[in-house]
Structures are given as structure tokens and as C-alpha cells.
């Protein structure tokens, strides 16, 4: 019985993930309003019944995508910080702060689909109060995660910030969103998007990190 329940749960989760992946592509390509439930099901290879057995509405799916994108980005950076701490690869206190930032960001690849999706999420959050409230809650969670990362990096690398960690995190998120959006508008490929956002964040780091003592 346990094996049967486990197999059912795995199949349900696989179906849910395929629907989320299909919706992410459609929302990024066509927008939330233009991407119908039928189109999502068709791209995922499922029926409407499969959709409504996993999500009550398209908005519910949309909000879950929003959270998934934010959590994935925070997890990637947090994993990078943990790896650097575990391998003792952080540069010494006298090292260039920009080198530290680039080390941390080198695994956080930016992609056009993800940026388009996040832009679509923000646009609809502006129009829909319910989506807006959910977006702000998830944004606060993202900010908390980045604040913790900033604090961990400062402790591990011996850095001192000119502003509180929470303000540093918010500034970095704002710059990332701006650089990523401008990159997509200019037609940059994924590798170029990643380079632009990393350089933008490195410039912010240069402004908010106290220079090492000679």
C-alpha cells in the first residue's frame, strides 16, 4: 500500500511540475492573460482534468511559479556561499571585494525565460490586488533570504558593509531586476545577461562594502 501511495504521489508531482514548466514558457512568451488553461495543458500534454486536479485557478499556478523562481535563485546563491565556506575558498580580507562578489555570482545564471516570467509576474501584481499582496509577501521572503546571504558572506569573507544587510540586499535585488530587464530588452543572450547582472551587482558591492585596511 505504501509503495502504491508513493508511486501515486510521485506521478502527481511529476504532472504538477510539467504543468508549471509549460505555464512558465507560455506566460513568458504570451503573458498571463493570453496563456489559457487549454494552451498550458496542450503544451504539457495533459487534459484540463489534470490541471484542475493540481490547481484551482490559473492565478494559483501563476503564484506558485513566482515563488519557485524566487526560491531557486536564493538557493543557488546560498549553495554557492556554502560551497565557498566549506572549501575555504573565500579570498582573504585584503582581497578585492569585487572578486568575492563575482565568485559568489558565477553560478547564478540568468536566462531570458526566467526574466520574462518575473517581469510578467510584476506587471500582473500591479493590476491585481490579490496577486499584488502575494507578490509582496514572496518578495519579502526573497529579501530575507538575500539578507541572510549578505550577512553570511560578510562574516565568512571578513567584509564590512556601509549600510545594514537588509538595505544592501534590497539594493542588490533592485539592481539585478534593472540590469536583467534592460539586458532582455537589448536582445542579450543568456551568457551576456548573466555577465551584465553580475557586473551590475559587483559595482553595487564596490559602493556598499568598506575597503579593506591596508
The class of domain 1-55 in CATH terms is: mainly alpha
pLDDT at 37 over 90: yes
Over residues 181-199, the pLDDT tens digits come to: 898 899 888 888 888 887 8
22-46 burial, b for 16+ CB within 10 Å, e for fewer?
Answer: bbbbbbbeeebeebebeebbebbeb
Domain 58-208 has CATH 1.10.357.10: yes
The position carrying cell 508549471 is 20
Q: Which residues pair with 209 in a beta bridge?
A: 161
Q: Of 37, 75, 179, 181, whose CA–CA distance to 123 is shortest?
A: 181
pLDDT at 67 over 80: no
Over residues 110-150, the pLDDT tens digits come to: 677 778 888 888 888 888 888 888 888 878 887 887 788 77
**pTM for the structure as a whole:** 0.71
Q: Quick one: cell of 173? A: 535585488
Q: Cα dist. 113→24, 40, 73, 189 in Å?
A: 8, 16, 14, 11
- Domain assignments of the chain as residue spans, ordered by start: 1-55, 58-208
Counting Cα atoms < 13 Å in the Cβ hemisphere of 118 gives 25
Amino acid at each position: 500500500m505504501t509503495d502504491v501511495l508513493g508511486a501515486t504521489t510521485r506521478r502527481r508531482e511529476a504532472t504538477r511540475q510539467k504543468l508549471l514548466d509549460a505555464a512558465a514558457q507560455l506566460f513568458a512568451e504570451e503573458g498571463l492573460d493570453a496563456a489559457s488553461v487549454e494552451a498550458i495543458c496542450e503544451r504539457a500534454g495533459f487534459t484540463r482534468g489534470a490541471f484542475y486536479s493540481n490547481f484551482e485557478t490559473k492565478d494559483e499556478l501563476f503564484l506558485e511559479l513566482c515563488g519557485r523562481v524566487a526560491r531557486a535563485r536564493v538557493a543557488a546563491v546560498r549553495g554557492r556561499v556554502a560551497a565557498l565556506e566549506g572549501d575555504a575558498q573565500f579570498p582573504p580580507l585584503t582581497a578585492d571585494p569585487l572578486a568575492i562578489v563575482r565568485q559568489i555570482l558565477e553560478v547564478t545564471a540568468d536566462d531570458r525565460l526566467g526574466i520574462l516570467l518575473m517581469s510578467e509576474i510584476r506587471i500582473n501584481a500591479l493590476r491585481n490586488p490579490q496577486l499584488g499582496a502575494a507578490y509582496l509577501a514572496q518578495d519579502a521572503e526573497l529579501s530575507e533570504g538575500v539578507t541572510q546571504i549578505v550577512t553570511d558572506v560578510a562574516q565568512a569573507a571578513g567584509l564590512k558593509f556601509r549600510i545594514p544587510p537588509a538595505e544592501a540586499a534590497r539594493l542588490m535585488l533592485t539592481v539585478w531586476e534593472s540590469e536583467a530587464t534592460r539586458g532582455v530588452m537589448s536582445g542579450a543572450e543568456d551568457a551576456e545577461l548573466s555577465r551584465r547582472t553580475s557586473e551590475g551587482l559587483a559595482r553595487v558591492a564596490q559602493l556598499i562594502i568598506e575597503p579593506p585596511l591596508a
